[in-house]
Amino acid sequence: MTHVPGIDVDERGVARCWWCAADPLYRDYHDNEWGRPVANDRRLFEKLCLEGFQAGLSWLTILRKRANFRAAFADFDVERIAQFDSTIVEQLMANTGIVRNRAKIEATVNNARRCIELVGDEFASLAAYVWRFEPEAASRPPVLDRAALMQLGTSSEALSLSKDLRRRGWAFVGPTTVYAFMQAMGLVNDHLAGCDFRVEAEQDRTAFERPGH
């Protein structure tokens, strides 16, 4: 088989993006979650928060702790997190199962409160809000190989979403964090050309009913 830069082929002949190849948990995440479109508000909020926690770390580190994060943060129920007080923050700071970063923990509580404001004041759901920033197909690279992906890092839409979230008082939502969120939640399909799961993700995106449309 011809070697395609950025594509790893496993012992069963399954071709995947290179970044998940070394770890079974990462491969499962890549195959079944990453790049598949999501309209569930709780999952969208969770991912925005966890991408914030990931800043300065690897996503695999966060993925391995995801069950602990869900237990610690009320399964990312924004109404419950919005009620967290300083006592709970201190309990979270003592929780060795998560990333114990006070600024990121406090940002998650803050963002839950901002999310309630956003949904209550203007939008029917968080999903209806974030999917407004889905990039136009014509703006995407015609062939997404490893070199093209490495040049992305963010996008004009991610910049716009980041700026708008920060204007609304959200924290830890810089453009790189937001673009990683968009990749994971299927607002873009950044599986590489040659990855067996690119076609599946695109089929899911084609069948997906955009919230608010």
Q: Which of 51, 129, 157, 179 is catalytic?
A: 51
CA 62 to CA 54: how far, in whole Å? 6
Q: Which of 18, 29, 106, 200 is catalytic?
A: 29
Give Dmax (Cα) for the chain: 58
Do residues 34 and 202 touch, judged by C-beta distance below 8 A? no
Look at residues 81, 51, 67, 57 and name the one whose alpha carbon lies nearest to residue 179. 51
pLDDT at position 121 is: 74
**Catalytic residue status for 26:** no
Cite the beta strand spans of the chain per DSSP E. Answer: 7-9, 15-17
Least confident of 22-26, 94-98, 147-151, 159-163: 147-151
CA 47 to CA 41: how far, in whole Å? 10
pLDDT at position 151 is: 86
Angle at 155 between CA 149 and CA 160, to 5 degrees: 160
Q: Residue 169 region, left (φ>0) first, then alpha (ψ -120 to 50), else beta?
A: left
Torsion angle of C-alpha atoms 175, 177, 178, 182, degrees rounded to 10: 130
Calculate the alpha carbon distances from 189 to 21, 54, 79, 96 in Å: 18, 21, 31, 34
**Catalytic residue status for 129:** no
Look at residues 151, 167, 148 and name the one whose alpha carbon lies nearest to residue 159. 167
Task: Give Cα 183 distance to the centre of its chain.
Answer: 6
Look at residues 175, 199, 202 and name the one whose alpha carbon lies nearest to residue 188. 202
Question: Packing angle between helix 41-54 and helix 175-184, nearest 10 degrees?
Answer: 130
Q: At residue 209, does pLDDT exceed 50?
A: yes
Mean pLDDT of 53-65: 95
Q: Which of 34, 59, 129, 131 is catalytic?
A: 59
Name the residue with tokens 């190989």: 145
pLDDT tens digit sequence for 13-48: 999 999 999 999 999 999 999 999 999 999 999 999
**Catalytic residue status for 51:** yes
Q: Residue 153, exposed/middle/buried by CB under 10 A (0-12, 13-18, 19+)?
A: exposed
Mean pLDDT of 146-159: 89
CA 171 to CA 114: how far, in whole Å? 10
> Taking the CA of residue 14 as centre, how many other CA atoms within 13 Å lie in the half-sphere pointing to its CB?
12
